[in-house]
Amino acid sequence: MTTLQIAPPRPQPKAFNHISYSAISTFQTCPLRFMFKYVLGLPVTTISSSLVFGSAMHQAVQFHFEQLLIGRPTPDLDTLLGVYQDYWETCDGQAVLFGAGEDRDALGRMADRLLRTFQQSQFAQPRGTILGIEEELRGQVVPGCPDLLARVDLIVDAGSELLVSDFKTARCSWSDDKVDDIAPQLLLYSELVKPIADGRPVKLSFAVLTKTKLPVLTVHDVPNDHQQVERTKRTVENIWRAIQSGHFFPNPGPMQCGSCSYREPCQRWAG
């Protein structure tokens, strides 16, 4: 007698009362990954070393600006490296996937070089008054879509304008095309920052620190163009419609699959 194999019940989908740029970007990269992470909430069993490294660097840079905000002296390199290492400790127990020739010690040496470059940059000493660091902002940007939830890395009041910056680490320098590809993130954030700006211009920029032997920190300005803002809103609107319709499918490719945390459920997915 054949016994029917009954599949376990699928997790209940999460209700969306907000959406982040990270979620939007995930859907654009791979709709199936979006479903696993944001709809089904599947647990992550592996995490890429580049993601841990970037988050650890963010923690160190955040700590630097927090000390400036409360009027304390600029933290030294050893202190920032301590913050970086503390973040790695929070990842103990997770399976970290290292790239070829990588290990935690090698990444630690890279962090030393990058943080030295950060400390020597003009970006580390912003002109004006720091208003927010990893500031959480939320509001409806696109009618008919959930609230946009954003964590803005750095907001500085420069007097005549408000400066909004996002910090990134990258394998190599960004081209103009790369900046254009990522610009929608800051264009959406600019809409949430408007109430704080109180009618003043909002200047947007990415601060990109390269993970190279000789690191470089480059600030890339993003034109706060009304037409591009509206185009980005329409993109979000269409993505939200696709999410509501359950339009989820894999988008395989070497760039997104190699470090994906959902490779196993993806391989089991049958449509």
In a domain, 135, yes or no: yes
List the one residue out of 84, 150, 121, 106 whose CA is nearest residue 208.
121
pLDDT score of 18: 95
Report the DSSP beta bridge partners of residue 168.
208
Contact status, residue 222 vs residue 183, Cβ threshold 8 Å: yes
List the one residue out of 85, 165, 169 whose CA is nearest residue 133.
165
pLDDT score of 259: 75
In a domain, 265, yes or no: no
In a domain, 31, yes or no: yes
CATH of the domain at 31: 3.90.320.10
The length of the chain in residues reads 271
**Long-range contacts of range 79-83, CB-CB < 8 Å, 24 or more positions apart?**
80/115, 80/119, 81/108, 81/111, 81/112, 81/115, 83/56, 83/59
In a domain, 269, yes or no: no
In a domain, 267, yes or no: no
In a domain, 271, yes or no: no
In a domain, 261, yes or no: no
Residues of the chain where predicted confidence (pLDDT) is lower than 70: 1-14, 93
Tally Cβ neighbours within 10 Å of residue 146: 18
pLDDT score of 5: 46
| Residue type (1 letter), 91 | C
Show the domain range for 222. Answer: 18-242
- Residue 107 burial by Cβ neighbours in a 10 Å radius (0-12, 13-18, 19+): buried
CA distances from 70 to 20, 118, 126, 182 (A): 28, 20, 14, 31
How many domains does the chain fold into?
1
In a domain, 7, yes or no: no
CA distance 265 to 271: 12
